[in-house]
Structure 1
Amino acid sequence: MTEPNNPRAERLRRMMGEEGYDAVVLSHPHDVRYAVGYHSILERWGQMEAMAAAIVYADPAKPLTLVIPEANLGLVAVLNQDGPACTFAEIRTFEMLNFCEVSRYLDPDRDAGQLGEDAMAMADLIKGSCQPDIAAAVASALADNGMAGKRIGFDEHRMSARISNRVPHEYSDVLDFMMRVRVVKTAEELDRYRKVGKLADRIIEFAGGVLYEGADWNDVQAKICDFMVRNEVIPVDEGAMLFGGAYEQDEFIPDLFRTRGNRSLRKGDIVILETQGIHDGFWVDINRTAVIGPPSEEYQHQHDVLRDAFVKMVDQLRPGMSTADLPAIGYEHLKANGVATPEKLLVVAHGIGLMPLEIPLPYPAAGLAGVKEGFVLEEGMLLSLDSLYFGAKVGPCHMENVYAITSGAPEPMYDAPLELIVAPLAAETEPAE
């Protein structure tokens, strides 16, 4: 069968050729979804053991392979109901506990329906017999495609170790390699993220709209979570937002990584709205700052200086520039405009996509290297620019946007204004008599 159009797999193959890989075996959920588009609720269980795999061969004549539990064939039909979201040329199946055994028994009282027909239509793509586990299914596919003795990359070393007796091979760890592959998006991925951006704008607008003097912080978060879920965005957790909360009674700390709140919002409180969640596999990561009631002149000035520094950094986002150069641009602008302790400015530029932090540097990239060393921008990257001033004098300010790197000016994925959000006081929320 001719392999369906899959620009992500094509990019992966090109880069495999540059690195000399004959095949890569991917079992991390993000890598599987990248290569073939497959995902399921099972990946959200957070199991240590992979529930699916994808095999990509450098030779385009060999089949792009999806490895899944036999019982999940119907799920592939669901994923492709509205279009080819899951693309592959071959399926290898394996048992998952006893789900697959049970599913083989036909229920005489139940019509398989359209889903059953669509699942059965994939029968020609299923190769080999159902294997006892995922490693056996991967080994069978590799052996059938002549991979013994070849250089094979794995994003999970246990998979390599498990199959080495059956398919001897030259092992390579491809976790860092896959990050370099994924960080530059295909045209189809950029189109998908533009839709994510529209949702992000709606979420941040809603979040600003539920703030007011007297609002309960926990209730605010619950409302934002509900709004996100109803708009097909999976919140990062039950709180939806990254920042804000309480440590002791009667205290609200806007730049604390989120905890439970224990008091109502008051006049003058600063609220950092960083709403995080997942839509269509891609992360929403948008950040704005709000204040309860009119801000002081000093705080408004500080926010405006930070906004202008942010715009200056955005103006530098071009192919070939290094993200390591961005913090100095922001620092110098704050210093030149009299902002107290400009050293309190934190600037992080990171890729975003199937993960909130996609940094194409060798492991461990989330340490100082992610900022100090940085990475060079390439056309097609999605870059999240995160600027947080911890505000030693009048309080913190924070803003974050995602941009597509183009040959010219960067394309913003979010349209929400970078301005300070001013939430109403209690008197402004009371109904008129």
Structure 2
Amino acid sequence: MSQRLTALCARITEAGMDAALLLHPRDVLYYAGTARPAVLLVAPHDAVLLVRRGFEYARREATIVRVEPMSGLARVAEVAAELGLSGGVLGIELDVVPARIYRRLAEVFPGWELADISPLVLAQRAVKDEGEIAATRQAAVVADAGHEIVPQVARAGMSELALAAEVEAAMRRAGHEGYQPLRHPGARGGGVLLMSGENLTVRGGHGLVVTGAGLSPASPYGASRRVLRPGDLVVVDIGSTCGGYTADESRTFVVGQATEQQRALFAVARTVEEAVLGMLRPGVAVADLYALAEAVVNQGAPPYFAPGSLALPGFVGHGVGLELDEPPILWPRDEARVQAEMVLAIEVEVSAPAHGAMVKLEDTVVVRSDGCEMLTAAPRELIIC
């Protein structure tokens, strides 16, 4: 068995589970090396990949030995019996498994209790190996390419949608895989988040951050048809994917010359990010990182922004990996501590509600024993277009 599967088996045993059945594509990819439609049955000393479609491709891609075609979940139960698994606790991903599949699993595994394995899987996935970090570094290059094009093409009179199209084209040319994998079934997963002017205050509900207005109620986030005007702030939040791994990078631009007020607001975001990066190392509580960020924001930026007039969205970062939003979340409600080789998006969004303004600065970093290594490389400044 691979090191990843061996580690998962140890976690399963420690949690009092007898076996696991992984159905979520990103989890199957992590442990079995393929994203083809398949499920992964994990026993204490064995694992079987059962493939619904694309069998020959999956067999070539798989990093485990036993790969079989799958005719239905009843076949999974048969394979479990062949492995000597006759009952007990079966771990499945309760955060993403549909109710219909859950009910079918209860039917074909009648002697089993179904338990949630997702926290164990996500905890293991949170710490990356050097291969995963290398893939994330390539995703960061893709995100950088998206930001690099903005000051070259953005201009007054251009729509948000047209600018987003330029950004996404640059990303695709750089190797972007075209989507941002997200774990929650109802979460958005396509296109960059790009917003300007009054759209910098629109929180559409897909996450805590400002999302932009989007094109319709059916897609209420990201770029709209709003036309850029001289003096507009423009925020571009890029989630890029390369080799299966994601990077997350946000930058703030201004169309034409920046005002002193805009520069002051961005300086707060830069100060927050520098403070968080300076504190980031193994063993630090993620809640303490948020508290530090909040303390900086609460000082405001006199004379332009009084103390207490600025706000964060309630968090200051999150994990990234095979999915764009992974644990831990850097907010007060998470009791986790930072670990070496975690890959995190330090996401600083500072709003001035009374002024209808927002700026953002976000970078993907890998935690090392003595601090952090920056993976994204676009200029960390208010960028003039």
> Looking at both structures, which has the greater relative contact order when contacts are Cα pairs under 8 Å and sequence separation is at least 6?
2
**Amino acid in structure 2 at the alignment position of 1:376:** R
Map 1:231-380 → 2, pairs under 5 A: 231-233=174-176, 234-236=178-180, 240-244=191-195, 252-256=198-202, 257-258=211-212, 259-260=214-215, 261-336=224-299, 337-338=301-302, 339-340=305-306, 341-346=308-313, 347-360=315-328, 371-380=332-341
Q: Distance in 2 between matches of 1:278 and 1:190?
A: 13
The answer on whether the counterparts of 1:228 and 1:235 sit within 8 Å (CA) in structure 2 is no
Tell me which structure has the larger Cα radius of gyration.
1
Q: Following TM superposition, by how much is the alpha carbon of 1:272 offset from its aligned partner in structure 2, in angstroms?
A: 0.5
Q: Provide the residue aligned with 1:418 in structure 2.
A: 380
Q: Provide the residue aligned with 1:88 in structure 2.
A: 64
The answer on whether the counterparts of 1:319 and 1:379 sit within 8 Å (CA) in structure 2 is yes
Q: Provide the residue aligned with 1:404 in structure 2.
A: 366
Superposed CA deviations along residues 323-368 of structure 1, whole A, max 9, x for unmatched, are 11223322322344434345412333211112221125xxxx8xxx
**Amino acid in structure 1 at the alignment position of 2:66:** E
Superposed CA deviations along residues 363-392 of structure 1, whole A, max 9, x for unmatched, are xx8xxx954335211112111111111123
Q: Provide the residue aligned with 2:75 in structure 1.
A: 137
Q: Following TM superposition, by how much is the alpha carbon of 1:67 offset from its aligned partner in structure 2, in angstroms?
A: 0.9
CA distance 1:328–1:191, shift in 2 (3 Å):
same
Q: Provide the residue aligned with 1:164 in structure 2.
A: 109
Q: Distance in 1 between matches of 2:175 and 2:104?
A: 34
CA distance 1:400–1:281, shift in 2 (3 Å):
same
Superposed CA deviations along residues 247-285 of structure 1, whole A, max 9, x for unmatched, are xxxx74234323133342111111011012422222232
Among 6, 23, 27, which residue is 2:23 paired with?
Answer: 27
Q: Following TM superposition, by how much is the alpha carbon of 1:13 offset from its aligned partner in structure 2, in angstroms?
A: 2.6
Q: Distance in 1 between matches of 2:244 and 2:201?
A: 27
Q: Secondary structure at the match of 1:191?
A: helix
The answer on whether the counterparts of 2:198 and 2:356 sit within 8 Å (CA) in structure 1 is no
CA distance 1:159–1:8, shift in 2 (3 Å):
farther
Q: Distance in 2 between matches of 1:405 and 1:292?
A: 34
Q: Provide the residue aligned with 2:205 in structure 1.
A: none
Q: Distance in 1 between matches of 2:312 and 2:90?
A: 43
Q: Following TM superposition, by how much is the alpha carbon of 1:414 offset from its aligned partner in structure 2, in angstroms?
A: 0.8
Q: Distance in 1 between matches of 2:246 and 2:279?
A: 24
Superposed CA deviations along residues 144-194 of structure 1, whole A, max 9, x for unmatched, are 1001124321124345313224xx234322122222221122232122212
- Computed over aligned residues only, the root mean square deviation of the Cα atoms, in angstroms, reads 2.5
Runs of 5+ consecutive residues of structure 2 not aligned to the other structure: 181-187, 203-210, 216-223
CA distance 1:159–1:239, shift in 2 (3 Å):
closer
Structure 1-normalised TM-score?
0.74
How many residue pairs match? The answer is 347
The answer on whether the counterparts of 1:289 and 1:420 sit within 8 Å (CA) in structure 2 is yes
Q: Does 1:76 align with 2:52?
A: no
Q: Following TM superposition, by how much is the alpha carbon of 1:302 offset from its aligned partner in structure 2, in angstroms?
A: 2.2
CA distance 1:370–1:23, shift in 2 (3 Å):
farther
**Amino acid in structure 2 at the alignment position of 1:73:** F
**Amino acid in structure 2 at the alignment position of 1:406:** R
Q: By percentage of residues, which structure has more strand?
A: 2
Q: Distance in 1 between matches of 2:252 and 2:332?
A: 23
**Amino acid in structure 2 at the alignment position of 1:55:** L
**Amino acid in structure 2 at the alignment position of 1:22:** D
Among 339, 343, 357, which residue is 1:395 paired with?
Answer: 357
CA distance 1:342–1:325, shift in 2 (3 Å):
farther
